[in-house]
Structure 1
C-alpha cells in the first residue's frame, strides 16, 4: 500500500497532536496545525510537489507558533483564576506537627489535610490553627 503525500502529512499531523498530548510544551500543536493544513492544501491540489509542501508546512507552522503561542499560553495559564478561599478564616486542629519548613497535617471538616505554617514556625499537634489561604490541596495555616 503506497501512501500519497497528503496522507503522509495527515499522519505527521496526527503524530504531532499525540506528541502534544504527552508533552507540556505547547509546541507540537503548531507543527500539527502546519502538517494538517499542508495535507489539506495538497489534497485540494494547491501544493503539487514535495518542495512546496515542505515550504508550506514550515511557513504555516512557524507563523502559527509565533502568532498564536502567546495567546494559547494565556488561555491555559491558571494563575489568572481567582483564588479558592472558602476555607479562609476557619479553625482546624493540628494532628501531626507542622515543622518550620515542611508539611504537617490538620483535621478539618471531617478529613485530614496537608498543612504548612503561614509564618514558618513550628506548630505542635493539638494546637488550634486558622486557615489563611490554600495552595491547591495544601492549607496554609497560622496558630490561633
Structure 2
C-alpha cells in the first residue's frame, strides 16, 4: 500500500525551512526575519509612495499591536525613521535609514542567491510547472 502524502504538510515544511534560512541570515545583521521583510517592503515600495504602518499591517498580515512594537524597536535600533507628513501630523510615514538599507540589501542578496539555488535545482520546464502548480493551488484556496 502506498504511503499517503499530505501536500499541506510538505508545503508548510518547505515554507518553514525557507523562513528559517532567511531568519538565520537576517540574525547575522541583528534583525529578525519579520524586521527584514519590513525593511524590504519599505525599501522596495517607498520609491513610488509613502509607506505607513497600516501598509505593513496589510502587506505582512500582522496585527497592529505587533507591528507597533516591531517598528518602535526598529526605530530605536536606527533601521527606520518615522516622519510626520504635511497633510496630517498624526500620520507618520516610514523611511528606511542608510543603516537599514545596507542591512536590507545584504539580506535581499542572500534571498536572491537562495532562490537561484532553487532555480538551479530544477530545469526551466520544472520551474515553470512548479510555479504554475503553486499558483493553481493558491487560487483554489482563494475560491
| Fold match (TM-score > 0.5) | no
Q: Which has the higher strand share?
A: 1
Normalised to the residue count of structure 1, the TM-score between the two structures is 0.25
Q: Which has the higher helix share?
A: 2
Q: Which has the larger radius of gyration?
A: 1
